[in-house]
Amino acid sequence: MGFWESTFVPAIMKGLKTTLKHVTDRKTVTQQYPEVKPDLPLHYRGVHRLNRDEKDRVKCVACMMCATACPANCISIEAQAAPPEWPDRDKFPKSFVLDELRCIYCGMCEEACPVDAIELTHIYDLTGETRESLMYDREKLLGVYDQTKDNPRDPVRTKRGILGPAAEFHSLPTLGPATVVPDSDRSAKNPTAGVIKSKQESHS
């Protein structure tokens, strides 16, 4: 403790200098929210949407992967067999209800979806007057897609094929065994563990 330090004077002056500097520089870090919308990061996770495919049908194939992955159990899907004119899928969701109040916006459904049908958008100001109004059904979720598909911040991330990567797989990359396996393990010796016979191949 030096002389000046014990008189408190330099400390007070230094503090006042700092605060005065902030008063006079007129800079602000806060935003005027309703007028100025926040610039959210691209990976922001907001309200969900159900994507449409190129024929405006719901892209979802009712595989239940999202409902299984969901840690909050907020997705309930009722599947139905796809009509015969839809040869590219077996099922489609007869009803798809997502409880936006229960959802924790973790994005696991988006990760799990094999056909990139469910995606999280930038909509963050979700309000409703009743709990029921926030139970988003299939039509509402498709509506979110119509509302956000042209927004540059919410690009449709699916670029690969009609339905998504999983639907287009004819073969998975060959998986070599990651560890040393004993000779007796027959499954490990199979060099093409991930091959799925495609329809064309099986026909020919």
Partner 1 sequence: MRQLAGTGMHRATIDQRADAQPLAKSGYPRLMPELLITLLTISVVVGAIPGVCNYLILLERKLSAWMQDRIGPNRVGPMGLFQPLADGIKLLLKEDVIPPHVDKVLFLIAPAISVFTAMLAFAVVPFGPVNDATVPAFIRFIIAPNIDIGLIFIFAIGSLGVYGVVLGGWASNNKYSALGAMRASAQVVSYEIPLGMSVLGIALLSGTLNLEKIMQLQTDGGLLSWNIWFQPLAAIMFFTASLAEANRLPFDLAECEQELIGGWHTEYSALKWALFFLGEYTHMITISFLTSILFLGGWSFPFIAEASSAYPGLWLVKLLILSGKAFFFLCMMIMLRWTIPRFRFDQLMELAWKVMIPLSLANLVMVMFCKHFGFSQWWLLVGSIALFAAWGTISARLREAELAERPGYVKRKKVVPAAVHAGHGAHH
Positions touching partner 1 (CB under 8 A) are: 1-7, 12, 15-16, 18-20, 22-23, 26-30, 32
Rounded Cα distance, 127 and 144, in Å: 14
Instruction: Evaluate whether 58 touches 142 at the Cβ level (below 8 Å).
Output: yes
Both tokens of 184, joined, read 């007796």
Tell me the closest approach of the beta carbon of residue 37 to partner 1, in angstroms: 16
Beta bridge partners of 50: 118
Tell me the closest approach of the beta carbon of residue 35 to partner 1, in angstroms: 11
Dmax over Cα atoms in the chain, in whole Å?
95
Q: Which is nearer to partner 1, 19 or 202 (CB)?
A: 19
Tell me the closest approach of the beta carbon of residue 27 to partner 1, in angstroms: 6
Q: Which is nearer to partner 1, 5 or 146 (CB)?
A: 5
Q: Which is nearer to partner 1, 29 or 180 (CB)?
A: 29
Rounded Cα distance, 53 and 161, in Å: 10
Q: Which is nearer to partner 1, 6 or 179 (CB)?
A: 6
Q: Which is nearer to partner 1, 9 or 175 (CB)?
A: 9
Tell me the closest approach of the beta carbon of residue 167 to partner 1, in angstroms: 51
Q: Write the burial class of residue 137 (CB in 10 Å: 0-12 exposed, 13-18 middle, 19+ buried).
A: middle
Neighbours of 18 (CB within 10 A): 10
Tell me the closest approach of the beta carbon of residue 39 to partner 1, in angstroms: 17
